[in-house]
A and B are shown apart, each in its own frame.
Chain A
């Protein structure tokens, strides 16, 4: 027996030694930064990017192809009129366009002027035909069978004409459309579509099923092995500056942990993902790595139902909004690993966001007196409305105790679960008991859409400005969960049609005050992102848009002088 015990101890000691040897605990920790300035790089080199999922649909603007991962991977293959900068400003893509402006406001007319020599990889010029095709497949009146992801704005375009040898493209809209810069984000090649068949066939089958052998961007696909990897090399007919790297390989690795291990083993050189405390620690333990963190235009927020037996009472919603400490929520969640990502005090713009060169973000929350964890203030609001807090329990004006409120959250999302738990603690101070409804993926979204909750935590992408908000807060909108406010509808409609940035910013901030005043949205913080790569590489940024980090892929390269770790 003693021999057995001795041998067991030796085996356990061996295992512990191995673990200790592998942990690399002596490695220096790296600090995360948010580098946004272009650094000097040299031509040549390669990089392997870790991606979670392979391409399942090669058409980046089809309903199935328009997903975050696929958009990011296919960005280098297409021409794009506008680019989102790391600071959230939207600028013209000078490689493709000389200019793009609204030249008439009634009817709204947009004029794009192409640069000389812009062309597809096979030498065919990028022309008005490509704009005409890309518009038609996203306009249900021209192609009802086309399975496009997004049709708003495209269906307002009444004509597209080319002039000046096809260099100038003029579009007329039936209605003013403030988010016109978000259209034509991927321009599809009309001459390739011709070879696939009619509009619906080319869009739903040709572009969907075939690995692109063309490119209108800096890189072209050299090889794609389904589910394993995609290799891109420079487009020989690229018309812009760069690209610098000779080969860009995307390696499909599911799971952030596995991606970081692959980075550690040198099998990939870039991990771009949403960080957690654990993954950030793991990244910081690696030597000679650059770690960037930043936030995006997609933000986390809480929301309250504004209809139903108890939540229809504005006083109760206001009290809840007043009692919640949203800054504390930020500090106790992403504050642990993404210190640079600030608390949001607006539900319509992220901090620092610019629209048309103007600062758009405003703190509308403080003026409304919500989100600061003011339990006394919340109780005062409740008492004025006839509620009482007795023995730690909130009693309604009719004398009955308030029922437990249901907090809907996604059970698999650690961050949203933490938010629910913190809210649960905070609301106890005003006598409200919260039960957490940790729904799985299959139930969460339908429950959200149908308003099967009292309070919820979710995320919203703000890439489309007023249109992004309309999907949640417009009357009878796809996700409105019963919310309806005429003033909010009016403001959203006006902002969607407002072409003057200053006026639009004003309308949006007014909308923000209405939405937060109703308690229908309580903003928290932008979704943090993390980019980890060897410090030999440069110009890889956190891009706040839904198109991700590959937006400036032609600038990526090997640094002339590698940074110190």
Chain B
């Protein structure tokens, strides 16, 4: 059971989860670009090379597909590799490895080989970064059966979810919001605790409207709901997602606003909206509204603030559903 706790930001919380899991299990290894000597471009793996040595914290050549492919081989052999990809825009060259192999090894071999692998990827906008450093294309991975997709929204749940992801027997895409990395601090216990994958978190209860968000958008949602009797759901795991928690809330409120940073078309909000329409239509009092990024190429920093869902847009959507 957890004993001491400290106020940590998300970078520190993830670092602590990595450290504790590596102490617990010798099969856990980290690989990626700059993860060793440099402690990662966001310093998430800082200090781990010194603690665990270069056999377990592996600075690889610059090769995203190779990193993921090598991690797949390690996982199949019996290790629990955690691959770090520096930015979500850089994972695109490794999608072949994830889609063609990581996601289907268990199935293709009827369970003889498995792929217990975690791919940690910083994602999202808000840190004024160059091209391809602000992507939030999580829906790509939600369309790959065989892969799980996890997006923590706070230091506390980042640690608990990462521990669960490392121990999960299947490949997990673990998305870390760069905007949140150092934005908030909260009490994070030392020692082992897990947050189960596939379960959402009710951040606050409410009666009039259900707000569904994840990652960095959750915080914008929490700010925007002030003055509304809103129930806020932090989805935390996108695949498999907690349909039950959503239905329960929709039955209570009858109104839904979904918020995500990714472009609207085929964003994960579409899946949630369709699921509610299929299974909880009769409880709805108003159309479901998605507040999302626009269907544009993710802009560079000068236009970034226009792109991101704002508190204003979220409030407008809530007012809209309340009219019905």
Chain A complexes with chain B:
no
A contact residues vs B (CB 8 Å cutoff): none
